[in-house]
Amino acid sequence: MSFAVLDFETTGILPSHNHRVIEIGVTHVEDDGSISGHWETLVNPQRDLGPQHIHGIRGADLIDAPLFEDIAPDLLALLRDRTFVAHNASFDLRFLIAEFSRSGLYFGDSLPHICTMKLSQSFGVPGRGALDSCCAHFGVDLVNAHTAGADSLATGQLLSAYMDATRTMSEWAAYWAEVGQMGRGFPLPSPTTRGVAWKARGESFSEPQHFLERISDPPLEVKVEGAEVAYLDALDRVLIDRSISASEQAELIAVAGELGISRTEADLLNRKYFDALQQRAWADGVLTQEELGELIAVSESLAIPADDWNSERFSSDSQPTQWAPTEFKLDPGDHIVLTGDMQIERTEWELLLIAAGFVPHPRITKKTKVLVSADPDSGSGKAQQARKYGIPVVGEGWLRENLV
C-alpha cells in the first residue's frame, strides 16, 4: 500500500463556517506509480450547496446520495495504511478532519500527507501550481474539472508523473520510499461499515421516470377520511410555480402513501386538478398566452398528454368544480425567506423585497409565505423547516417574475 489521493467538492471554503463536503473522489496509487483503484460519491450535506455554478451539483442529485457519516467507515478503509495526497492538501485535510469529527470519528488534527501542488515547485511548473497548469505541464488529461472524481484521478496521474520523472534520481527514490510509508500504521478509527451504497455523479438509481409511477398501486395504507382533498391541497402547494421539483415529487409520493391513495386515484386527482386549472383559465372565455403557458407547464409536470385536454367543457357559464386551486399571490407585508447562493446578491434581493412592500425574514416561521431558494431541491435547514410547515419552496426565477 502507498498513497490515497483525495479530492473534495464542498459548499464553501471554511469547515468552521459549517461548509460541508458534497462530493468525494479517491484514487489509489502504488509504490511503482500505478493506479490500482478509483472511487467516487456524492454526499448529502443536509444544507444549501453554496456556489453551484462552480461544482455543478444540484439538490436533486443529492436526494438519494449518502450522508458522510454513512460512508465514513468505507472511506476510512480506503485511507488506512496509505499516505494522504491531495492538490492543495491543507484544504482537503481540513474538511476531512472536520467531517470525520462530525461523525464522531476524530483521529487528531492531521494525517501523514503530501501535497502535489507544493511539489509542483520542484518540477518547474509556472504560476502557483494550479491543478490544470500542473496537468498541462505533464501531459495529464484533466477532463470534467471541479468534479471530485475527475480531479482525484488527475491528481493521482500527476503523482505518477512526478514519480516517473524522478525514477532514476537517487535522492527522489529515497523520498518516495519514505513518504510512501508515512501512512502505514497510522491509528485511524475502525468503525464497522454501514453497507450504504456510494453514488457517483451522473449515476441514477433505477426508478420510473415520473413520480406517479412510484406511487403504490394498490396503496400500502387504508385511505384516510378527506384523503382526496388533502392530496389536492399538497399538489396545489407544490405547483404554485407550475413545476414539481425532485424533492416535491418525493413529497407527493409520501403524501399519497400516508393518505392511502393509489396510483390510479392519484392520476385521477392530478387530472381533476388540471381540469380545475383549465376551468379557471377559461372562466372569462379567453385563454391568454400566460395562461396557456401555465397549463402546458402543469400538464407536463403531471404527465397529462395534450390530447387529454378538454377545454370545450369549460365556459363562463359552466358549473364550478367542487375543488378549486388556490390563486397564490404575494400580498404586502408577507414574510419571504431566502436561502442559497442566488444569481442576484442576497442584500439586493432584500432591498427589492422591501421596496415592493414585503418583509425579508432571516428564518422560517409559521408566518412565512414562501421560501425562495437558489435550488428548489435544497437540503438546507430552512428548506427542511419549510417543508415541515407546508410552506411552498420556489426558485429564484419565480420571485423575479412575481416582483415585476
Whether the predicted pLDDT of 211 surpasses 80: yes
Q: Which residues lie closer than 8 Å to 230 by C-beta, 6 or more apart?
A: 224, 255, 259
pLDDT tens per residue across span 2-17: 999 999 999 999 998 8
Q: Which three cell numbers stand for residue 16?
A: 468552521
Domains in the chain, ordered, with CATH? Answer: 3-181 (3.30.420.10), 211-313 (no CATH), 335-403 (3.40.50.10190)
Q: Of the candidates 90, 137, 129, which has an alpha carbon nearest to the alpha carbon of residue 109?
A: 90
**Residue 203 in this model has a pLDDT that exceeds 90:** no
pLDDT for res 314: 59
Q: What is the pLDDT of residue 52?
A: 87
Tell me: cis bond preceding 320? Omega within 30 of 0 counts.
Answer: no
- Alpha carbon distance 224, 218 (integer Å): 14
Q: Is the pLDDT of residue 248 over 80?
A: yes
Q: What is the pTM of this model?
A: 0.80
What radius of gyration do the chain's Cα atoms show? Answer: 26
For the stretch 46-74, pLDDT in tens is: 998 988 888 999 998 998 899 999 999 99
**pLDDT for the residue 309:** 79
* Residue corresponding to grid cell 419549510: 386
pLDDT for position 266:
95
Which residue pairs from 219-227 have beta carbons closer than 8 angstroms and sit at least 24 positions apart in sequence?
219/256, 219/257, 219/260, 219/261, 219/262, 219/265, 220/257, 220/260, 221/257, 221/258, 221/259, 221/260, 222/260, 223/259, 223/260, 223/261, 224/258, 224/259, 224/260, 227/259, 227/260, 227/261
C-alpha cell at 119: 511539489
Q: Is the pLDDT of residue 91 over 60?
A: yes
Give percent helix, percent strand, percent coil of the chain, each to the nearest 5: 45, 10, 45
Query: What type of residue sits at position 170?
Result: S
Question: What is the tens place of the pLDDT at every residue in 298-329?
Answer: 999 999 987 777 665 555 555 555 678 888 88
The x, y and z cell numbers of residue 210, run together, are: 415520473
Quick check: 53 and 146 in contact, CB under 8 A? no
State pLDDT tens for residues 102-153. Answer: 999 999 999 999 999 999 999 989 888 999 999 999 999 988 888 999 999 9
Q: pLDDT category, 369, cuts 50, 70, 90?
A: very high
